[in-house]
Structure 1
Amino acid sequence: MQLELEYNPSRIATVEDYRLTLKEAKKLLDCAADEDEEIIKGIISDLEYTIEWMSTGRRPGNKRGIERRAAYQNNRLFDPLIIQRYFRSEEPVFSWDQHQKEDIIHSWERDQLDCALSVLTDREKEIFLMNKGHCLQNTEIASLLGVSESNISSTIHHSEKKILNHISECLICSCR
């Protein structure tokens, strides 16, 4: 049996086309020679994978799609560039901070960030701004502050959760 498909580059293949091709490939498998069997099985596997992906709209094998991710997995608290501009537009507060003050942030952005950061303690705010504002790695922050890297990591995670909770309840923060 010969697999005959007409190739037309201007035509878009549909799921039904793939199903017909899968049916023909399965017929070919029944009468295929031993050396061709593995190749045809690979084709069948690829076709089944493609059909499932096209039918469900998500990658086969995934239990949940991107739209069902937890809130902390797909939400950013704020645009990182705005946080960096905020950090540069403040007077240096911490001893390790050596930047020049710049006025590059809008007043409403400043109000939003001030409100969001208001729920953090001074230590949490310092660590959070070192990580998000200055883009320092956890190891650098730990060595500057003389604490463990795991302490920095957990503080950043805890701070993000506090800010997320505050943003969901606060009118100023949620008006983006």
Structure 2
Amino acid sequence: MQDLIKEYKETLRKIRKVKRGYPSVNERSPEQDCDYKILCQMESDLLWSLEWMETGRCPGNRRGIERRAAYQRERPIDPIHFQRYAMQPLYKQNKHTLSDYDMWRVEEALSVLSNLERDVYIMSRGHCLSYAEIAGLLGVAKGTVQKMIERAEKKMARQKETSLFLVG
């Protein structure tokens, strides 16, 4: 990687040297002006690439990829089972349906949620809609949707810990 950075820096020096050799703005021909703009774009691209290689982050991002895992949460219910539960009215396939016991366990876990939290959770986890899509459907902010899902997951986790029927 260090060799690549050295090559990029050398190319950047060469481009800057060529740019200094161009006449001022008023003295350039249209062809020279076009070439100068291309050199400026090349310089900008090289600077962007160098910043990424030296810092290890996409230029302009506030947080690096290493911070993203902090926002992931464990799901109290298997997502595949929940999607089958949520999507059940849309298709009829006997090999993918849940047993009555599994259906009852999902309903028991969802029973602690308010109607709005339940709807938002089903849209997110069952129908695989993004927070932005859910926010657009409900007319609320994306952060509100995220908070509702976090609250719902906490309630469901608490229900799972305290209920004797949801063990296993």
TM-score, reference length from structure 2: 0.54
Q: 1:164 aligns with which of 153, 157, 161?
A: 153
Superposition map of 1:30-69 within 5 A: 30-33=20-23, 34=28, 35=32, 36-69=35-68
Distance 1:156-1:27 versus aligned 2 partners, 3 A rule: closer
Q: Is the 8 A contact 2:57 2:64 kept in 1?
A: yes
Q: Which blocks of at least 5 consecutive residues in structure 1 are unaligned?
A: 1-12, 90-96, 142-148
Distance 1:127-1:32 versus aligned 2 partners, 3 A rule: same
**What amino acid is the match of 1:131?**
M
1:117 aligns with 2:110: yes
Residue 129 (structure 1) shift? 6.0
Q: Is the 8 A contact 1:22 1:44 kept in 2?
A: yes
Q: 1:164 & 1:134 partners in 2: Cα distance?
A: 16
Is the deviation greater in 78-87 or in 54-63?
78-87
Q: 1:21 aligns with which of 1, 6, 11?
A: 11
Aligned residues: 142
**What amino acid is the match of 2:123?**
N
Residue 138 (structure 1) shift? 6.1
Q: Is the 8 A contact 1:86 1:105 kept in 2?
A: yes
**What amino acid is the match of 2:4?**
T
Q: Which has the higher helix share?
A: 2
Q: Which has the higher contact order (CA 8 A, sep 6+)?
A: 2
Q: Which blocks of at least 5 consecutive residues in structure 2 are unaligned?
A: 163-168
Q: Secondary structure at the match of 2:58?
A: coil
TM-score, reference length from structure 1: 0.52
Q: 2:144 & 2:63 partners in 1: Cα distance?
A: 29
Q: Is the 8 A contact 2:15 2:39 kept in 1?
A: yes
Distance 1:26-1:118 versus aligned 2 partners, 3 A rule: same
1:131 aligns with 2:126: no
Residue 31 (structure 1) shift? 1.7
Q: Percent identity?
A: 30
Q: 2:60 & 2:54 partners in 1: Cα distance?
A: 13
Is the deviation greater in 20-29 or in 161-170?
161-170
Q: Is the 8 A contact 1:52 1:60 kept in 2?
A: yes
Q: Is the 8 A contact 1:29 1:37 kept in 2?
A: yes
Residue 127 (structure 1) shift? 2.0
Give me the CA root mean square deviation: 4.7
